[in-house]
Amino acid sequence: MLEDVTIIGAGLGGLVLAGALHRRGIGVVVHEGERFPDARGQGGLLDLHANSGQQALHTLELHDAFLKLVRPGEDAKRVVDRHGTVLLDRPGNADCACPEVDRGDLRRLLLDALRPGIVRWDRKVASVQNVGDGRHMVAFTDGSTVETTLLIGADGAWSRVRTLVTDARPAYTGTCFLELHLDANDPRAAAAAAVIGAGTLIAVAPGQGILTHHNADGSIHTYLAANRPVEWLAADLSTATVRMATLFDGWAQSLRALIAGGEELPVIRPIYALPPSLAWPRVPGVTLLGDAAHLMSPFAGEGANLAMLDGAELARALIDHHDREDALAAYEHQLFARSQPIARISAGNLSSFFGPDAPASVVDLFETR
């Protein structure tokens, strides 16, 4: 089967690109490895920035619909030390330029804007290869294949498509998260919400931390962070929460009470990053966007925003340029210029959160924004 534009990955960036191309009548197919849209949780809240994520939504004429999903006041930040002493308590701003939205709600908005059939689910990539003349073959684990005249890797941290343009691989930053979820009807949820405050609670010390917020349904989303080898946490998932909790011995009881999850097993999220200066030579017929192109820690708040802007800018380049290779060259030139400085900021912010000067360094970070 020959496809015109093939996007691997139905994350936010891939869906923005698909939506923008579809609106202009350009044939596009998105292949996604997940079995169906809600096969897994999509993570917590995102703050969508005016000059990137929101700009992409304007391109799709979805900004008004997005505003209906916004969580007013969720941009509030409370920073405390290990004793629970409040060091910064910034209230939410109903007119915030970077409003918070649930990642799952945002993804659903983008999916609903596409014609049924553009996204094809349960399509896990087994391999990709260059077949000449700027075309590429994608083989899937179900044995099927497609050939495409333009292949877009929107397939995240461990992108298969990335191998076509660079040998770069994500490196572990040394910080690992353990993600916990507490249902709204759990007796512990109300007490946790009181400790968290209106938005996000950040409790950090050198080498470790607790970052948590409540969702619109009253459930609690918590990330436990530690500067430890991945193997230390991943050895036995059933005991991971208990082992992580031992790192917080001596912390305030109100904070330790947040180290709780429901019936679901926790999710291990090691923080990996690509080199901030990553670039690659122009390879005909293929390019990358989002985490596939510039994976970074979440501590600049830019990952999803950049992915969405990548999708919008790539679509614009393909629409504006008669020659596809000219379009891809122009897009990648801008991609490297905007992502590299932010990747360096993200790496620095990660050090601020869990480095030797935490939590004072985190307070400084928010006070200078």
Domains in the chain with CATH codes: 2-45+102-170+274-354 (3.50.50.60), 171-273 (3.30.9.30)
Contact 261, 179 (CB under 8 A): no
Name the helix (H) or strand (E) containing 320: helix 303-320
Q: How much is the pTM?
A: 0.93
pLDDT: which is higher, 73 or 145: 145
DSSP notation for 59-126: HTT-HHHHHTT--TTTT-EEEE-TT--EEEEEPP-TT-SS-EEEHHHHHHHHHHTSPTTSEE-S--EE
φ, ψ of residue 52 in degrees (nearest 5): -140, -80
79 confidence band (pLDDT: 50, 70, 90): very high
Q: Spell 57-80 as b/e; 16+ CB within 10 A means b.
A: bebbebeeebeebbbeebbbbbbb
Residue 39 pLDDT: 65
Q: Which pLDDT score is estimated for 1?
A: 65
Give 3-state DSSP helix, strand, coil % of the chain, rounded to 5.
35, 25, 40
pLDDT value for 189: 86
Predicted confidence (pLDDT) at residue 302 exceeds the cutoff of 80: yes
Least trusted range by pLDDT, from 17-26, 110-119, 133-142, 257-266: 257-266
Residue 55's closest CA among 322, 366, 318, 312? 312
Identify the pLDDT of residue 38.
77
Predicted pLDDT at 202: 96
Please, what sign has the CA dihedral across residues 238, 244, 41, 187? positive
In whole angstroms, give the CA distance from residue 360 to residue 49: 26
Q: Tell me if residue 363 falls in helix, strand or coil.
A: helix
What single-letter DSSP state applies at residue 132? E
- The answer to which of 84-88, 129-133, 210-214, 354-358 has the lowest mean pLDDT is 210-214
Confidence of residue 262 (pLDDT cuts 50, 70, 90): low
Mean pLDDT of 333-343: 97
What region, left, alpha or beta, does residue 299 occupy, with left being phi > 0 and alpha being psi -120 to 50 degrees? alpha
Q: What is the pLDDT of residue 219?
A: 85
Check pLDDT > 80 for residue 21. Answer: yes
Beta-carbon contacts of 337 under 8 Å, excluding residues fewer than 6 positions away, are none
Kindly tell me if the per-residue pLDDT of 175 is higher than 80: yes
User: What integer best gives the mean pLDDT of the chain?
Assistant: 92
Q: Kindly report which listed range (24-28, 239-243, 336-340, 357-361) carries the lowest average pLDDT score.
A: 239-243
How far, in Å, are 226, 248, 259, 300, 366 from residue 208 at the CA level?
4, 8, 13, 18, 18
Per-residue pLDDT at 188: 87
Residue 337, pLDDT > 80, answer yes
Residues 6+ apart with CB under 8 A from 331: 287, 313, 314, 317, 318
CB 175 within 8 Å of CB 227: yes
List, for residues 212-242, the tens digit of each pLDDT value: 988 777 888 899 999 999 888 777 777 888 8
Report DSSP letters for 26-59, one per residue. Answer: --EEEE-SSSSTTSS---SEEEPPTTTHHHHHHH
The pLDDT of residue 43: 63
Residues 135, 285: Cα–Cα separation, whole Å? 6
pLDDT tops 80 at residue 198? yes
